Amino acid sequence: MDETLNNLVEMLEQSVQRFADRPALYDPKADGGYRTWTYAQLWKDVHKIAAHLQQVGVKAGDKVGLIAETRAFWPMADFAIMSLGACTVPVYPSLPANQVAHIVHHAEMRGIFVQNGHQLKKLLDIPREDIPNLDFVVLLEASVDDALKTAARDRFEVYELVGWLEQAAPLSEQEWKQTWQRVSREDLATIVYTSGTTGLPKGVMLSHGNLLANVEGIRRVIKPQPGDRTLSYLPLSHIFERTAGQFIPLDGGASIVYSRGFSKIQADFLAMPPTLFTTVPRLLEKVYEQVGKTVAAGPAWKRNLFKNALASGMKIRVEKQGKRGLGFALYDRLVFKTIRDALGGRVRMVIVGGAPMPKYAGEFFTAAGLTVVEGYGMTETAPVVAVNSADAPVLGTVGKVLFNVEAAIAKEDGELLVRGESITRGYYRNVEATKEAFTEDGWFKTGDVAEFTPDGYLRITDRKKNLIVLSTGKKVTPAPIEAEILKNPYIDQVLLLGQGYKFVSALVVPNEDLIGQWLRSRGKGGLSFEQWADEPSLKAFLLEQMTATVQGFAKFEQPKKLIVAREPFTVENNMLTPTLKVRARNVLEAYEKEVEQLYTQDDYEAPRVAASATNPLAQ
C-alpha cells in the first residue's frame, strides 16, 4: 500500500489496478451459492452508485446513512458515498426506531441506504418533524413490500439499488475520478455513533487520514495476501469490522465472503473456508463451549484422549516447551484437526477484537494449532491501537502499539493515553464531549486502565469507570473476575456488583441448556427461565460454582452473594450494546430492587466451594 494516499477511494483504485480480475466479494444467494464480484466489477458498481448519488444531489460534506447487515452492498455504498466527498453514517440494523431517529436527526442525514422493508418501516415510524433533513432513501434489496414503498414515497424520494446498477452511470469515469481525487486525508469519511454503555450515542468523526493511517499501521503487523479469503460476519456498522474486515482485505487484494448470519456461520466456514477472519471473543467461546459439551458427553477413553492432547498442545504450542514427537502428531491428527476443520481447515490467523478475549480461549485455540492474535482499540482510534503479530503473539496481551500511534500511561490513575494520525478529531456537534475526551496537551483519554510488559506488549486491565470502590475503600477490578466466572459452563453472562457496599456480589445469567438439565434431574423441569431467579437450590448451586472459580482472587474481590437474572442480557432488551457489551447502567436499573434487597439482608454465610465447578475442557 502506498502510504502517501489521499483518500480511501484511491486506496481501492490501487487494488483494482493490481488485482482487477481477482475475486473481491462473495455474496450469499438464496439457492446456497454465491454471487462474485472481481475487483474490476466492484469498482464499476461503486462508480454507478456514486454517479446516481451525485445525480440526486449528494455533494461534498453531505451525510448519507447506511442501515444494513454485513453484505456486498455495504462496501459498494460506503465507497460510493465517500468518493463524492460525502460522509457515510452507519446505523446498526438492530437498533429500534427511536435510536435510529436520534442518529438520523443528529447527523443531519440527507439520505440513507436501507436494506429491506423492516429497516424502512423504522424510518416510517419516526415522525416527519424528527428527521426534517432526510430527502431520499435507497432500497438495497428488491423484495420490499409495495405498500411500504408507497408510504415511503409520500415522505421521501425512493430509489432502488437494483435499478441503479442496471442503468449506465450518469457520470463518466473521468468526471468521477476528478471528483474523488479532490478528497483529502483531512476530509471527513464517516461518523460512527458509539453504542456506548451509558447515555445517548456520540458521533465519532473519522477522516480519510484517520482510517488510512490505521490501515497503514495494521498492514505492518497483519499482512493479508492476494490469495487470502476472509469470512465477514460482524456488523460493518462497527468500525472494527469495517477497518479490519473491509478496508484491510480490500487493500491487500484478498477476497471477502459474507456470512449468511451467525446462526449459519458453521456452514459458511465449511462452504467457503477462510484463511483468516476477524471475530469478537464470543464466537471462540461458543466453539470452546461446544467442544466441552461434546467431550463431556463422550466415553471415558475419548475424554482421556482429549485431556492428554490438550495438555500436550498447551506444553508445546503455548508454553513452547518439549518436542513435537510422534505422540503429539497423533494428538494433532485425532483431536486438534477436527477443531480446525470445523472452521474450514484453512485458517492461518484469527484476529480478535471488540472485547477482551479470555486468556483460556486464546490458550485453547493456540494449543489446537490456530494462530490467534488479539488487538485493542476503540471507535475513536479508527479503531486499532495495538495488535499482536502472527509471528510472536503473547496471550493475555493485546500486542504492541502500532508504529504510527503514541501511547502513554497516566501516572495518577493508570489510564491509557494515545495520540497519532488515526485518532479522531472529536465528536460531531458535541464540543463539550470532545473537550472532555482529550488532555490539555492533546492526548486522547481511552478510559481504559493499562500497563506495559517488560517486552513492550500492552495489557488492558479494566475500564477506568468500571472500577468498583467498596465502602471499605478497597478497589475491585471487575474484568478479570468476570472473565474467570465465565469459564464456568453453567454461567453465560455476569455483571459484578458492589459499588459503595461492603462486599462484592454478582448478577448472573445461567446457561439455559445445562441449568435446564440440572433442574430436570431434580424434578424441577417445569420452572420457566424467569422462575429460576427465585429457586433457592439453583442460587445455592450457582454460588458454589462461582465461588470455586474465583479462589485465585483476594478475599475482598470474591463475590459473596448473587442474583439470578430473570432473562438473558440481549440487544433487544437493551441490556447489551450492538457490539455485545453489557450496558451496566440499564442492568442495574432493571434489577434495582433485587440489588437493594441483596445488600440489606444480613444473612451472608461463606458458600461451600463446589468441587465440580470447573470447565469440562479443564477436566
Distance CA 137, CA 513 (A): 43
Using the CB atoms, write b or e for 225-251: b if 16+ within 10 Å.
eeebbbbbbbbbbbbbbbbbbbbbbbb
**pLDDT computed for residue 556 by the predictor:** 86
Pick the CATH number of 281-345+347-464 from 3.40.50.720, 3.30.499.10, 3.40.50.12780, 3.40.640.10: 3.40.50.12780
Helices (H), 70-220: 73-83, 97-106, 117-124, 146-153, 161-166, 173-181, 208-219
SS3 96: coil
**pLDDT computed for residue 195 by the predictor:** 63
Q: What is the 3-state secondary structure (H, E, C) of 126-164?
A: CCHHHCCCCCEEEECCCCCCHHHHHHHHCCCEEEEHHHH
Question: Read out DSSP for 587-613?
Answer: HHHHTHHHHHHHHH-----PPPPPTT-
Non-local CB neighbours of 605 within 8 Å, separated by 6+ positions: none
Nearest to 319 by CA among 331, 310, 327: 310
Distance CA 36, CA 43 (A): 13
Residue 54 C-alpha cell reads as: 451525485
- Reported as a pLDDT band with limits 50, 70 and 90, residue 248 is very high
Inform me whether the pLDDT recorded for 606 exceeds 70.
no
Distance CA 219, CA 222 (A): 5
Inform me whether the pLDDT recorded for 111 exceeds 90.
yes
Backbone Cα Rg of the chain = 25
Asked if residue 443 lies in contact with residue 408, where contact means CB atoms within 8 angstroms, the answer is: yes
Average pLDDT over residues 131-155: 95
Mean pLDDT of the chain: 92
Topology of 8-183+233-254 in CATH? Rossmann fold (3.40.50)
List residues bridging with 189 in a β-sheet.
none
Of 155-169, 188-202, 360-374, 394-408, the range with the lowest mean pLDDT is 188-202
Asked if residue 288 lies in contact with residue 339, where contact means CB atoms within 8 angstroms, the answer is: no
Distance CA 479, CA 449 (A): 11
Inform me whether the pLDDT recorded for 577 exceeds 90.
no
Better-scored residue on pLDDT, 196 or 536: 536
Query: Grid cell 487484494 — which residue?
Result: 253
Asked if residue 192 lies in contact with residue 239, where contact means CB atoms within 8 angstroms, the answer is: yes
* Topology alike, domains 8-183+233-254 and 281-345+347-464: yes
- Reported as a pLDDT band with limits 50, 70 and 90, residue 604 is very low
Non-local CB neighbours of 483 within 8 Å, separated by 6+ positions: 356, 358, 359
Asked if residue 242 lies in contact with residue 382, where contact means CB atoms within 8 angstroms, the answer is: no
Indicate the pTM of the whole model: 0.84
CA triple 298-339-374, angle to 5 deg: 130
List residues bridging with 427 in a β-sheet.
204
Per-domain boundaries in the chain: 8-183+233-254, 281-345+347-464, 467-618
For the chain, the distance separating the N- and C-terminal CA atoms, rounded to the nearest angstrom, is 47
With a pLDDT cut of 70, the percent of the chain lying above it is 96
The strands making up 203-207's β-sheet, listed across from edge to edge, are 157-160, 136-139, 111-114, 63-67, 87-90, 188-193, 203-207, 426-427
**pLDDT computed for residue 465 by the predictor:** 74
Residue 382 C-alpha cell reads as: 479508527
- Reported as a pLDDT band with limits 50, 70 and 90, residue 282 is confident
The second-level CATH assignment, the architecture, of 467-618 is: 2-Layer Sandwich (3.30)
- Reported as a pLDDT band with limits 50, 70 and 90, residue 613 is very low
pLDDT tens digit sequence for 439-449: 999 999 999 98
Average pLDDT over residues 419-447: 97
Average pLDDT over residues 61-71: 98
Distance CA 391, CA 334 (A): 26
Asked if residue 567 lies in contact with residue 529, where contact means CB atoms within 8 angstroms, the answer is: yes
**pLDDT computed for residue 312 by the predictor:** 96
Compute, in degrees rounded to 10, the torsion defined by CA atoms 134, 209, 3, 15.
-10
Nearest to 408 by CA among 435, 441, 434: 441
List residues bridging with 98 in a β-sheet.
none
Average pLDDT over residues 145-165: 96
SS3 506: strand
Asked if residue 255 lies in contact with residue 39, where contact means CB atoms within 8 angstroms, the answer is: no
DSSP letter at 201 equals: P
Asked if residue 390 lies in contact with residue 371, where contact means CB atoms within 8 angstroms, the answer is: yes
Asked if residue 580 lies in contact with residue 355, where contact means CB atoms within 8 angstroms, the answer is: yes
Distance CA 435, CA 88 (A): 24
Asked if residue 594 lies in contact with residue 561, where contact means CB atoms within 8 angstroms, the answer is: no
Inform me whether the pLDDT recorded for 174 exceeds 70.
yes
Inform me whether the pLDDT recorded for 197 exceeds 60.
no
**pLDDT computed for residue 199 by the predictor:** 62
Average pLDDT over residues 481-495: 93
Distance CA 185, CA 371 (A): 34
Asked if residue 263 lies in contact with residue 37, where contact means CB atoms within 8 angstroms, the answer is: no
Phi, psi of 391 (to 5 degrees): -75, -35
